[in-house]
């Protein structure tokens, strides 16, 4: 059984009288512990697909199975619970809470956890997670005092705090220089190797996609094909 | 646990923008402070007014004889002689809620000292307790006459300020002899100044003497002589000491013939009083005292259940009500003004919370993406508003109370701390937080996480 499976997903936005079909029958599957890159030009529907994968959105039709569970018909509250327990998000613009310490930022998802860890334990857990990402000496810093790479690592720590099975990264290196991008991507590789977290990176950059074990191309709302990264020609001009 | 965590999240969120939080709370602070100051000053004023009503004798209960009727002609309240000094003693002894009682007889007659004369508005014969009931125990000079003077019908009296001024023109009246209807009375004391009463009558235009002396030496009958049938018999038989000096009195009514007197027998008691004044311990006990007096007097007067009362009991309830209404109206008016400022403060909170929701759209999206349910977001923003209001309420109570203390200190207004107002202020600030925080919080919870995350 695949870890994640999409069957004939359609997503149509209704803007007044006009129907805008964004996804037109997407079917794909990702196995446990894979590092997948989701590639496509802007407007190809990859963001919409990621929202569906992240349980933020529901498909108009089709089936989405996460760990064998049918997701597309869950209630908003159930989906929120699923996002909290099973899915971690990493965003292009980090989305850290301003004027809040790195530690509190990382501990934030724990407050929506039904287990409700006591404050002290939650702090401890967040400290461990930041330590794992090499930010032990930056725990009390506010995001504005951290570099881009550090901010993104805080965001990754936040995504990992609830021990998710799936990590969704939406253009995680879009705001970073090439050196830090490399670092972050290596971090993803490590997490994938050591923690066996399934990671899906959404990107339009082929250089980034190269770090993945599998690349799924999407264009104009349909899956264009799955390829191994070796076959992708890396054009040096694309590198950021 | 959950409440604690939500509150700490809210506090952390508020700490991110302390200036704005402070300014937002200012509305609530001012509102609550205004409410507290108004309540404390209002309560103080009410208490002061109640105290001054009490000084007029608000706990006073008047027991008057009932009406007499002769051949279908009623003579109005007090025209029949049914109350005796023994009734008064019984009221004191047997009504637990009656604090004190005094019989009183009244007269209206001329008072003479030297070459001055005056007709006091009140010539009252009573006991020393009379002053206690009237809340008038302070004397400007001398002393009140005693119970022994009452028993002996001694010719002593105390006089009011007006009378002292009219007759003595500044000289000390104590120890002087004045003549009341040609009977010589020794002035033993001068009452303190009391001023006008509710009807505007000068209460200082008074002379108080033992009721026995007034009844047997001066007046004979006072109201009794309205009743034609009893007039002749009482005045001529009982009052033997009255005519020390010859003074011709004009008879307005034709004297009764022997036959008439025999036809309409009037039960004449040995002694009767015009009115009995009683006083209850407190304003609240007045109804109970009135009930006890009614029961007792009906029993003493041997009235059968179907017979009407031959006396009437009256209290000052109406007067107290009027005053309480006036002061509470004033307090409520001020309170309404203060409440309006609270509403304004609430609108301020709503305004800022709406701004905050817009500003923190991305944060809301993020929180939703990490698993916050709509109701978690709703709760977070609601708690934020309530926490703001509670902090504002606490500060408002402190400032309001401090303000009231300052008012008392500098302006010497009567101020009374009101725990009810404090409880109400806390409740009001919480509900302002909930009412005005709900819409922004609801708006936040309805955001679409995808759009919220993308919001710039």
- Min distance B455 CA to chain A CA atoms (Å): 11
pLDDT score of B232: 41
| Cβ-Cβ contacts under 8 Å, B453 against chain A | 91, 95
| Per-residue pLDDT at B149 | 92
pLDDT, position A103:
92
Helical pair B18-55 and B2-15, crossing angle rounded to 10 deg: 110
Average of pLDDT values for B55-74?
Answer: 75
**Residue A116 and residue B449: Cβ atoms within 8 Å?**
no
CB contact under 8 A, B5 and A116: yes
* Interchain pair A83, B12: CB under 8 A: no
C-beta atoms of B370 and A98 within 8 A = no
Instruction: Give the whole-angstrom CA distance, residue A103 versus residue A96.
Output: 11
CB distance A104–B12 less than 8 Å?
yes
CA torsion angle A228 A234 A238 A240 (round to 10): 80
CA angle B350, B351, B352 (to 5 degrees): 95
Residue B230: what pLDDT? 42
Answer yes or no: pTM beyond 0.80. Answer: no
Indicate the range of A61-75, A93-107, A181-195, B56-70 predicted with least confidence.
B56-70
Does the pLDDT value for residue B221 go beyond 60?
A: no
Record the tokens describing residue B244, joined without a space: 């020390």
Q: Nearest to residue B35, comparing CAs of B427, B424, B440?
A: B424
- The C-alpha of B417 sits at a distance from chain A's nearest C-alpha, in angstroms, of 40
Instruction: Spell out which chain A residues touch chain B, with contact meaning CB-CB distance below 8 angstroms.
Output: 51, 54, 56-57, 76-77, 80-85, 89, 91, 95, 97-100, 104, 108-109, 111-113, 116, 118-119, 158-159, 162
Q: Residue range A104-128: average pLDDT?
A: 87
Q: Is B445 on the interface with A (CB under 8 A)?
A: no
Lowest mean pLDDT among A92-101, B69-78, B143-152, B245-254: B245-254
β-bridge mates for residue A64, sequence order: A6
At A238, is the pLDDT very low, low, confident or very high (cuts 50, 70, 90)?
A: very low
pLDDT over 50 at B233, yes or no:
no
Question: Which has the higher per-residue pLDDT, A84 or B233?
Answer: A84
A–B interface: beta-carbon pairs under 8 A: 69
Segment A35-48, tens digit of pLDDT:
999 998 888 888 88
Share of chain B above pLDDT 90, in %: 27
CB contact under 8 A, B1 and A56: no
> Could you say which of B8, B372, B450 has the minimum Cβ distance to residue A112?
B372
Flag whether residue B9 sits within 8 Å of chain A, measured between CB atoms: yes
pLDDT at residue number A231 = 53
pLDDT of residue B228 exceeding 70, the answer is no
Give the closest-approach CA distance of B421 to chain A in angstroms. Answer: 36
What is the pLDDT averaged over residues A139-159? 92
Say yes or no for a CB contact (<8 Å) between A77 and B453: no
- Would the pLDDT of B452 be above 80? yes
More confident residue, B363 or B331: B363
Q: What is the mean pLDDT of chain B?
A: 83
| E strands present in chain A | 4-15, 18-30, 35-39, 61-66, 69-70, 87-90, 166-170, 198-203, 214-219, 222-227
Compute the distance between CA of residue B454 and CA of residue B366 in angstroms, rounded to an integer.
10
Question: What ipTM is given for this predicted complex?
Answer: 0.90
Does residue B40 surpass a pLDDT of 80?
A: yes
User: What is the Cα–Cα distance from A159 to A110, expressed in whole angstroms?
Assistant: 11
Q: Are B374 and A76 an interchain contact pair (Cβ–Cβ within 8 Å)? A: yes
User: What's residue A206's pLDDT?
Assistant: 85
Contact B372/A at CB under 8 A? yes
Model pLDDT, residue A235 = 44
Nearest to B317 by CA among B295, B289, B297, B294: B289
Q: Tokens at residue A226, please? A: 């799955």
Residue whose token pair is 């996804």: A23
At B70 the pLDDT is 66
Q: What is the Cα–Cα distance from A39 to A169, expressed in whole angstroms?
A: 12
Q: Which two tokens stand for residue B133?
A: 């009931």
Q: Which has more confidence, B281 or A66?
A: A66
Mean pLDDT of B133-156: 89
Q: Is the model's pLDDT at B53 over the cut of 90?
A: no
For the cut 70, the answer to whether the pLDDT of residue B237 exceeds it is no
A97–B372 C-beta distance less than 8 A = no
Stronger pLDDT, B203 or B266, i.e. the higher one: B203
Min distance A56 CA to chain B CA atoms (Å): 7
Say yes or no to pLDDT of B241 above 90: no
pLDDT-derived band at B231, boundaries 50, 70, 90: very low
Q: Where along chain A do its domains lie?
A: 4-230
Stretch B248-268: mean pLDDT:
63
B376/A113 Cβ within 8 A? no
Report how far residue B387's alpha carbon sits from residue B441's, in angstroms, rounded to the nearest whole number. 13
pLDDT (tens digit per residue) in B262-295: 676 655 545 778 889 998 888 778 888 999 999 9
Mean pLDDT of B427-456: 90
Indicate the average pLDDT of chain A: 87
pLDDT at B220: 54
Over 60: is that where the pLDDT of B139 sits?
Answer: yes
B-chain residue closest to A88, CA distance: B370
The predicted-structure confidence for A9-34, as pLDDT tens digits, reads as follows 999 988 888 988 999 999 999 999 89
Query: Which residue on chain A is closest to B362 by alpha carbon?
Result: A95
Q: What is the pLDDT of residues B373-406, one digit of tens each?
A: 999 899 999 999 999 899 999 999 999 999 999 9
Report the pLDDT value the prediction gives residue B335, as an integer from 0 to 100: 81
> From CA B43, how far away is CA A24, in angstroms rounded?
74
Locate the chain B residue with the closest alpha carbon to A115.
Answer: B2
Query: What is the average pLDDT across A185-214?
Result: 89
Confidence at B108, pLDDT banded by 50, 70, 90: confident
- Res A158 pLDDT > 70: yes
B363 contacts in chain A (CB < 8 Å)? 95, 97
Q: Is the pLDDT of residue B140 over 60?
A: yes
Query: Over 80: is that where the pLDDT of B446 sits?
Result: yes
Residues 6+ apart with CB under 8 A from A97: A104, A105, A108, A143, B363, B366
Query: Which residues of chain A are within 8 Å of residue B16 when distances are taken between CB atoms?
Result: 98-100
Identify the weakest region by mean pLDDT among A137-141, B66-70, B165-169, B366-370. B66-70
Give the one of B2, B16, B450 whose C-beta lies nearest to A56's C-beta. B450
In sequence order, what E strands does B231-329 have? 275-280, 311-315
The share of chain B scoring above pLDDT 70, in percent, equals 86
**Contact (CB<8Å) B8/A51:** no
Q: Select from A56, A113, A158 the residue whose CB has the most chain B CBs within 10 Å, as the one to mutate to test that interface.
A: A56
| A99 vs B contacts (CB less than 8 Å) | 16-17
CATH 3.40.50.300 corresponds to the domain A4-230: yes
């Amino acid at each position: 059984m695949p870890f994640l499976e999409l069957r004939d997903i359609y997503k149509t936005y209704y803007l007044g009288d006009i129907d805008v079909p964004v996804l037109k029958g997407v079917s794909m599957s990702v196995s446990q512990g894979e590092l997948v890159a989701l590639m496509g030009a802007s407007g190809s529907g990859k963001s919409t697909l990621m929202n569906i994968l992240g349980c933020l959105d529901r498909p108009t039709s089709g089936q989405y199975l996460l760990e064998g569970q049918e997701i597309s018909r869950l209630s908003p509250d159930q989906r929120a619970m699923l996002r909290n327990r099973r899915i971690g998000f990493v965003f292009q613009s980090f989305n850290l809470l301003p004027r809040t310490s790195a530690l509190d930022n990382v501990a934030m998802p724990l407050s929506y956890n039904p287990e409700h860890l006591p404050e002290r334990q939650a702090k401890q857990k967040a400290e461990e997670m930041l330590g794992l990402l090499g930010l032990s000496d930056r725990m009390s810093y506010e995001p504005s005092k951290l570099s881009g790479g550090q901010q993104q690592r805080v965001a990754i720590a936040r995504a990992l705090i609830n021990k998710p099975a799936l990590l969704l990264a939406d253009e995680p290196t879009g705001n970073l220089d090439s050196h830090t991008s490399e670092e972050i991507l290596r971090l993803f590789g490590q997490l994938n190797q050591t923690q066996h977290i399934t990671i899906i990176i959404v990107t339009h950059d082929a250089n980034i996609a190269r770090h993945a074990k599998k690349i799924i191309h999407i264009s104009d709302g349909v899956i264009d094909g799955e390829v191994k990264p070796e076959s992708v020609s890396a054009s040096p001009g694309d590198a950021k | 646990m959950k409440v604690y965590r939500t509150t700490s999240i809210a506090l952390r969120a508020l700490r991110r923008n302390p200036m704005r939080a402070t300014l937002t709370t200012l509305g609530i602070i001012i509102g609550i402070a205004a409410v507290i100051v108004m309540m404390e000053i209002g309560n103080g004023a009410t208490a002061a007014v109640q105290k001054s009503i009490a000084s007029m004798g608000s706990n006073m209960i008047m027991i008057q004889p009932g009406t007499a009727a002769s051949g279908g002609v009623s003579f109005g309240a007090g025209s029949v002689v049914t109350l005796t000094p023994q009734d008064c003693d019984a009221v004191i002894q047997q009504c637990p809620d009656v604090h004190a009682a005094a019989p009183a007889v009244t007269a209206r007659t001329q008072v003479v000292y030297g070459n001055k004369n005056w007709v006091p508005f009140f010539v009252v014969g009573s006991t020393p307790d009379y002053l206690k009931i009237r809340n008038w125990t302070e004397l400007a000079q001398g002393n009140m006459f005693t119970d022994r003077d009452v028993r002996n019908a001694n010719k002593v009296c105390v006089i009011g300020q007006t009378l002292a001024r009219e007759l003595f023109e500044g000289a000390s009246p104590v120890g002087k002899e004045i003549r009341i209807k040609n009977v010589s009375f020794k002035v033993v004391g001068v009452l303190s100044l009391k001023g006008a009463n509710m009807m505007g009558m000068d209460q200082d235009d008074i002379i108080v003497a033992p009721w026995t002396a007034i009844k047997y030496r001066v007046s004979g009958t006072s109201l009794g002589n309205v009743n034609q049938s009893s007039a002749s018999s009482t005045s001529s038989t009982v009052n033997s000491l009255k005519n020390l000096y010859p003074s011709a009195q004009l008879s307005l009514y034709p004297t009764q013939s022997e036959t008439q007197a025999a036809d309409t027998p009037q039960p004449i008691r040995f002694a009767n009083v015009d009115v009995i004044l009683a006083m209850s311990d407190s304003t609240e006990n007045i109804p109970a005292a009135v009930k006890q007096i009614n029961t007792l007097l009906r029993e003493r007067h041997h009235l059968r259940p179907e017979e009407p009362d031959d006396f009437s009991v009256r209290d000052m309830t109406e007067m107290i009500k009027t005053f309480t209404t006036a002061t509470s109206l004033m307090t409520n008016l001020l309170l309404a003004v203060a409440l309006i400022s609270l509403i304004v403060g609430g609108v301020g909170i709503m305004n800022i919370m709406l701004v905050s929701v817009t500003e923190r759209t991305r944060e809301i999206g993020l929180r939703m993406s990490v698993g916050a349910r709509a109701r978690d977001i709703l709760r977070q923003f609601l708690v934020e508003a309530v926490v703001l209001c509670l902090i504002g309420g606490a500060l408002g109570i402190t400032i309001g109370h401090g303000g009231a203390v300052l008012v008392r200190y500098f302006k010497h207004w009567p101020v009374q701390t009101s725990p009810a107002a404090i409880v109400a202020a806390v409740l009001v600030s919480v509900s302002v937080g909930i009412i005005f925080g709900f819409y922004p919080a609801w708006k936040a919870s309805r955001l679409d996480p995808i759009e919220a995350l993308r919001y710039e």
